Structure 1
């Protein structure tokens, strides 16, 4: 356990405050080249995402046309009607991505898995660092035009479904998350540099509302073209 880990958890106003809530909901607008590449250009272009703060669960509603909604857990992903009627489901969904590359199209259930897995982790970070089995180590800092960003190498246990087992988080002098690096295993281990910005205060906790993901190069650099994924959050609420 590193001092940076503790600093990062407290910077958005603390783990004790976070644990007063059970769910987070936000309006979501997404863009970038990934969605059409995967054959899902508009399914989650504008939607509302809800994530659980105490277990790995997420839902997007609406999920495409027909007032459907998704339900994600590590071992199961499903699509439901607005009244909760099960429309289709996939058990052990991560196995369905075997052999995928970045260009392999996704089914709607695979999209629901990816989006649920990703947004649950994004919206629970940095508090996810306090989960049982999550290991952290501070590594050498990264120099930017804004000064040095301290970096944390994070290893996730197998029971947490996430992009990959080892990821890197970058924090500014205030302890706020500024960048998140990972390889997307279910998309051919595509390397991403995920930048976060535009923090707002929600119920006493600071959240980034602007996320931009680019293709990461082996030296850690990235180009802003193409924009792989854009995520803009608004109307964030905790309950």
Structure 2
């Protein structure tokens, strides 16, 4: 979903740049409350590296657009939504300036779509499901997978909205919508599987490093009277 230069007009690119800058400023403040244990520093680096590698694998989906894994929900669950957004933003900046993956003028758009939207939607779905599910360890993995699945087509839908407002290339809107939302729903399935597997693996070895695990609720211990009853 890396948007290239010139795909959206200048006013739309500036507007998304303002949104991205504001989101990063908020994330910088809130990440302090998420990153309170120095033992979690390596996890931040690992998450950023993993997302960087996953996003570098791009494939065309039609209408001049491409698709790839995003990692917003994964980052939010592993290191927290604010820190996760910062990880993705750094990855996108490095990709844009060093690998020409995504346009420089579209950097704000890419951070807004791949970072802000996927993190907010993925984390929101995760938290909602953790309130509904039993709150066991498996619930963390399931909720993260569902959050990942929903976040990908959500970001694609926001891109279609931005293109409808400020598209600067002669591509029919219905073609962009079909290519982006349709294919990214399929990509979302893959992202859900990968996210669930990674979160499950980390939970099995170092649950203390998973930010989302703090919402796990221990099973209630039955009293002796309840057992006799």
The structure, 1 or 2, with the larger RCO (C-alpha pairs under 8 Å, 6+ apart) is 2
Name the one with the larger helix percent: 2
Q: Same fold (TM over 0.5)?
A: no
Higher radius of gyration, 1 or 2: 2
Name the one with the larger strand percent: 1
TM-score by length of 2: 0.33
